[in-house]
Structure 1
Amino acid sequence: MPESSPLLSLASTPFVALTTFRKNGEGVSTPVWIARDEDALVVITPLGTGKLKRLRNDGRVTVQPCGRSGTVKPDAPLVEARATVSSEPGDVERATAAVRAKYGAEYHVVMFIERLFARGLGANKPRAVIRITA
């Protein structure tokens, strides 16, 4: 995939709205961190999230730049793509390393806060990686 592809150009944005689709075709958008891993974009998420359930039924996704709260500007580019999910430890570690490298201290702060709130509920939640390709 060329360096200048519409999908890979989103790798530098802080947040993207990742839209996954219900069985009835209705889109559900979630703001997520995203990082580049070779010819794909990757997202890490705890196992059991709604987006993973939806992706098991339909691998179609759309991604577009958004703010931290998920607000998408009217002129934001929309990219249609495909997504696959893996919970293989090597895949998750590789994607986590890419996200950690991109977000640095912010990543560590968010993970620390998540561990505080998850105390007693399994502070180190198992994760999956969503791999997004054109």
Structure 2
Amino acid sequence: MSADPFTTARHISLTTFRADGTGVATPVWFAQEDGKLYVWTPSDSWKVKRLRRDPRVVITVCDARGRVREGAHSAEGTAELLDDPSGVRELLARKYTWQFHLVDLQRKALRRTQPASGVVLTLAVTDA
């Protein structure tokens, strides 16, 4: 499956899985390039910890608060943590423009300098 149905979405609900198999959904900003989706998140976040153990993900189009509308597009896939998140950061800055820069400025003003992780999401291929 390509990432095309996600092209016009502003947010996705990224579901990662706990050790017991319970899914945990988090609304995130994302960018798309070359058929893959990219997410940028603090390296010490729980989603990163879960992805280190289990790379399975489910993504669903949602609003900024994580609310999923009935019939929203959803896909399964895998996630890979990237060593260098700078490319992901640039993709998000290009998509979210002033909003991304505002959040980044706020982070710097609050002296939140924790390392970030880039995550690349590869969607599973399904027969249509």
Normalising by structure 1, what TM-score? 0.85
Unaligned 5+ runs, structure 2? 124-128
CA distance in 2, matches of 1:60, 1:11: 21
Alignment equivalent of 1:41, drawn from 30, 37, 42: 37
Give secondary structure in 2 for the equivalent of 1:82.
Answer: strand
Q: How many aligned positions are there?
A: 123
Unaligned 5+ runs, structure 1? none
Backbone CA RMSD of aligned residues = 1.4
Q: Deviations over 1:42-67 (max 9, x none)?
A: 00001110001111111110111111
In structure 1, the partner of 2:28 is 32
Q: Identity, % of aligned pairs? A: 33
Ranges of 4+ aligned residues in structure 1 off by more than 4 Å: none
Alignment equivalent of 2:98, drawn from 86, 99, 105: 105
Which deviates more, 98-107 or 70-79? Answer: 70-79
In structure 2, the partner of 1:12 is 8
Q: Deviations over 1:86-126 (max 9, x none)?
A: 2x23xx11111111000000100111122233x2xxx3321
In structure 2, the partner of 1:132 is 121
Normalising by structure 2, what TM-score? 0.89
Alpha-carbon distance, 1:31 to partner: 0.3
CA distance in 1, matches of 2:49, 2:39: 15
